[in-house]
Amino acid sequence: MNQNKINKRRSMLYIPGNNPAMLQQAGVYGADSVLLDLEDAVALNQKDAARILVRNMLKSNDFYNCEISVRLNHIETPFGIHDLEEIIPLQPDAVRLPKTENVEELKKVFEIIEKIEDAHGLPHTKTKVHVMIESALGVQNVYELASFSPRIDAITIGGQDLTADMQIEKSKDNYGIDYARKRIVMASKATKIDAVDTVYVDVEDEEGLREETVYIKKLGFTGKAVINPRQINIVNEVFTPTESEIRKAYRIVKAYYENKAKDIGVFAVDGKMVDAPVVTRAIHTLTLADIDPETIK
């Protein structure tokens, strides 16, 4: 996989795993991450076809600068173990584990992943794991799941299955999953990993998508899954800092390095006190804007 990828996941584009046209074009739309789906986007009698197709595409297709992740079928289905056997040797950037509910499941999957990696002489560190929360039990256990292993570097929420599990309607305002979103974000912050929001299913409603993305960014999500290429730019725009935010972050980081050289820990920028958390946030802003904070020294 590409070693020069940008370190951010604003938009994650779902690609149905049994659709060659979409798979081969997946990298051209501008998503930060492509999510090749072997689970819900694939009919039960086409699981073998999708698995082989995705495997071949991972071997040969150019996904350009995108992070490449693969959503596998759950380990307790008849498909999950076969997905792992075919996909793990290809070392995608990440695999996404759907409907994760407890640590025992993770232990089982991690053991299998590591066995496959050992059999192929591969390191245990290259492919990260994204845990997907799609049930009430998963929401309750989210911190234990997020902190299970350093290989887990993102936690995600699946709104459709979660509302089904909660036996509520999935309303446009997503009020029913608000608590779950906040709990998941808090677990991600506590474990310092990414939190990626669920999809916005109405691809015609671009304003609705923008409003929801602004809202989940305020909650603390670091990105959002999308199901149509036309949703990518909106999500990327919302998660990209504005020029004034970037300029302010630049001034803070520059002042931080200048004051650090004089052993001054707390200082002021634009008349406001700056301490360590403010600097951390400013560095994050610059990273999102593709500016390496180290170059400001």
Residues that bind other proteins (CB under 8 A): 19-21, 24, 44-49, 51-53, 55-57, 59-61, 78-79, 81-83
**Least CB distance from residue 234 to other proteins, whole Å?**
27
Instruction: Using the structure block, give the residue that is written with the tokens 């301490």.
Output: 275
Cβ distance to other proteins smaller for residue 77 or 287: 77
Core vs surface per residue 231-252: b (16+ CB within 10 A) or e: bbebbbebbebeeeebebbbeb
Q: Shortest approach of other proteins to residue 32 CB, angstroms? A: 24
Nearer to other proteins, 2 or 77 (CB): 77
Q: Return the number of other C-beta atoms located less than 10 Å from residue 114's C-beta.
A: 14
Q: Both tokens of residue 187?
A: 């677990």
- Could you please report the per-residue DSSP string of 80-92? HHHHHHHHGGG--
Cβ-based neighbours of 192, under 8 Å, separated by 6 or more? none
Question: What's 205's DSSP letter?
Answer: -
Q: Which residues pair with 16 in a beta bridge?
A: 37
Which of 81, 291 has the CB closer to other proteins?
81
Between 228 and 240, CB nearer to other proteins: 228
Cβ density class 120-155: b for 16+ within 10 Å, e for less: eebeeeebbbbbbbbbeebbebbbebbbbbebbbbb
CB closer to other proteins out of 85 and 245: 85
Q: What's the one-letter identity of residue 147?
A: S
Q: Which is nearer to other proteins, 50 or 139 (CB)?
A: 50
List the structure tokens of 46. Answer: 């086409």
Structure token pair of residue 157? 């929420």
177, 163 contact by CB (below 8 A)? yes
Identify the helix (H) or strand (E) that includes residue 258. helix 243-261
Q: How far is the CB of 99 from other proteins (least distance, A)?
A: 17
In terms of CB distance, is 51 or 181 closer to other proteins?
51
Tell the smallest beta-carbon distance from residue 21 to other proteins (Å). Answer: 4
DSSP SS3 for 225: strand
Tell me whether residue 79 or residue 239 sits nearer to other proteins (CB atom): 79
Shortest reach from residue 109's CB to other proteins, in Å: 15
Backbone phi, then psi, for 118, in 5-degree steps? -60, -40
